[in-house]
A = this chain, B = another copy of it.
């Protein structure tokens, strides 16, 4: 466990208090769900998982909280093209398990890969620097995804 419920509570409590947000049961449940999976959960997925911990939490609150977490930078939001957004805990820009995605356009399967991340990151940072300067943009994040057919789907 990310330890320390004693005084400040879990790591994210500070972030919330600092931003003037309240620490509520639904928010704790949602963050607990997110921190216990490696999967790319949809809002509905989160809702169902949270429901097991705290059945009174509504889907609306899940959407609202996810949006809040995305705005705070604690959670990433992805679109894999199946019409519903996916969420995963951020865990630091180049922190543990920073990864990109490989999406099967046939079955929708998503593979996280970390193999070539280092080179990618390096190039991206160069590019970001160039783009920032040229277009006077403050670049906050990027998205890289590869699409294709997974081994199970390529045979048809």
Q: Which residues of B contact A116 (CB under 8 A)?
A: 126-127, 130-131
Q: Residue on B with the closest CB to A147?
A: B141
Choose from B115, B127, B128 the contact partner of A119 (Cβ within 8 Å): B127
Cβ < 8 Å to B, chain A residues 107-135? 111, 113, 115-116, 119-120, 123, 126-128, 130-132, 134-135
Q: How far is the CB of A26 from chain B (nearest CB, A)?
A: 25
Q: Which residues of B contact A111 (CB under 8 A)?
A: 135, 137
Indicate if the CB atoms of A115 and B137 lie closer than 8 Å: no
Chief secondary structure at chain A's binding surface = mixed
Q: Which residues of B contact A146 (CB under 8 A)?
A: 127-128, 131, 137, 139, 141-143
In the complex, which of the residues A79, A105, A135, A139 has the most CB atoms of chain B within 10 Å of its own CB atom?
Answer: A135
Q: Given the interface contacts A79-B79, A143-B143, A144-B143, does A138 sit within 8 Å of B149 by beta carbon? A: yes
Q: Given the interface contacts A79-B79, A123-B120, does A115 sit within 8 Å of B134 by beta carbon? A: yes
In the complex, which of the residues A102, A139, A150 has the most CB atoms of chain B within 10 Å of its own CB atom?
Answer: A102
Q: How far is the CB of A74 from chain B (nearest CB, A)?
A: 16
Q: Does A10 contact B (CB under 8 A)?
A: no
Indicate if the CB atoms of B147 and A143 lie closer than 8 Å: yes
Q: How far is the CB of A117 from chain B (nearest CB, A)?
A: 9
Indicate if the CB atoms of B143 and A131 lie closer than 8 Å: no
Q: Does A148 contact B (CB under 8 A)?
A: yes
